[in-house]
A = this chain, B = another copy of it.
């Protein structure tokens, strides 16, 4: 038995009836061409034969004297964690997304290891779906996707020999990302470590802070500070109900725009999201004058190889105040370039400390929910890298891998995408009550990408 880390504890502490703290993913698969009609039932039956469970899948939270520990559960109850489901007729993607929305709203039971996987049949196009969720105290979005993809193989044949996902041991990444920029706590640790290095370790942090605050006061258009996000419908308290929308786009479309604008694909993703959000909010009559601010996780990985998930949050505006696509993309790129310049001047530990100090007031708001009007961000846009090669699971080809992330009071929308093969798989999760017709954002996104494709740099 190992006590929970501070971050694991925060993830459990932040959980409220309307705010479950698990992350998930929806995978779509194409069964083999010669699959019999009872293919999925047989697959479910085969997976149910599984008798071993590797960490973290066998770990549950227990309390002793008020302290929480991870206990490796001996009496593992597979039927509690692996569920076979079917879509009702006609089995369209919209029925699937409605089902995922409902399932993602339900809490995991703390008496058991905090994960569940659903194998879903009945899509009209013959594909099958796997939806899995895991508590953020057990895995973050990045490691969650890794837990799924490591049970897949590069060929249909090899994949048949792979064990069930929960039979594969997965060590937890060293530092894990938070679903929202609440790095204040982690960064205190970083700051303490830096002060041990003496003044040379700490000085760049404060120099950078001074510069940022000066840029912010001077109205530097590319510098986004803490507490600069405009009030918006995304910054309300959330209900316990969710709406999930998902769509794949060809990565080549983003790359082509990026090439023409001398930007990165990531810049194009952010500008496309900005354009989509602008359309969506205009239709609702809810577009703020000032640009929406997104928390955008960026990797701080340099050369040290064991820091799997070193992720910092950058704040980027999304150019939602700019009607034309080309100037919007240029503005977003400039903001991200500013962020990268900050990243470059600081070492990872320094960056953590810098972020913690800069975001502390907003992060405190998010954690405690004390003062939600002063938003640190309007939404989170996140990014997970999956293997580039084609993947197969239990004989089926992977067709889509959509993150189903989490939202919290004051941040009612999360857009996470997976870069997989030649596609970007977007997963949008929002509060059903706060954000009407979330699925329209997918149409808006398509329109926004098309607009960028024809825009002149």
Q: Which residues on A are within 8 Å of B, measured CB to CB?
A: 17-18, 38, 40-41, 44, 77, 79-80, 83-90, 95, 98, 102, 105-107, 109-112, 121-122, 239-241, 432-433
Of the A-B pairs whose beta carbons lie under 8 Å apart in the complex, a sample of 18, sorted by A's number, is A17-B107, A17-B110, A41-B89, A83-B102, A84-B88, A84-B95, A86-B86, A86-B89, A88-B122, A105-B109, A106-B106, A107-B107, A109-B239, A109-B240, A111-B239, A111-B240, A112-B239, A112-B433
Across the interface, which residues of B come within 8 angstroms of A109, CB to CB? Answer: 18, 105, 239-241
A309–B85 alpha-carbon span in the complex (Å): 39
CB distance from A73 to the nearest CB of B (A): 11
Judging by beta carbons under 8 Å apart, are B88 and A241 in contact? no
A41–B87 alpha-carbon span in the complex (Å): 11
Task: Kindly name the residue among A89, A240, A241, A432 whose own CB sees the greatest number of chain B CB atoms within 10 A.
Answer: A89
Judging by beta carbons under 8 Å apart, are B239 and A41 in contact? no
For A91, give the chain B residue with the smallest CB separation: B86
Instruction: Indicate how many identical chains form the complex.
Output: 2
Q: Which of B18, B86, B112 sits near A87, CB closer than 8 Å?
A: B86
Across the interface, which residues of B come within 8 angstroms of A107, CB to CB? Answer: 17, 106-107, 240
For A121, give the chain B residue with the smallest CB separation: B88
Q: Which of B106, B112, B121, B241 sits near A89, CB closer than 8 Å?
A: B121
Across the interface, which residues of B come within 8 angstroms of A122, CB to CB? Answer: 86, 88
Judging by beta carbons under 8 Å apart, are A18 and B98 in contact? no
A421–B98 alpha-carbon span in the complex (Å): 37
Across the interface, which residues of B come within 8 angstroms of A77, CB to CB? Answer: 432
Across the interface, which residues of B come within 8 angstroms of A432, CB to CB? Answer: 77, 80
Q: Which of B98, B111, B241 sits near A241, CB closer than 8 Å?
A: B111
What are the 8 closest A-B residue pairs judged by CB atoms, nearest first?
A111-B239, A109-B240, A86-B88, A86-B86, A106-B106, A41-B89, A84-B88, A109-B241
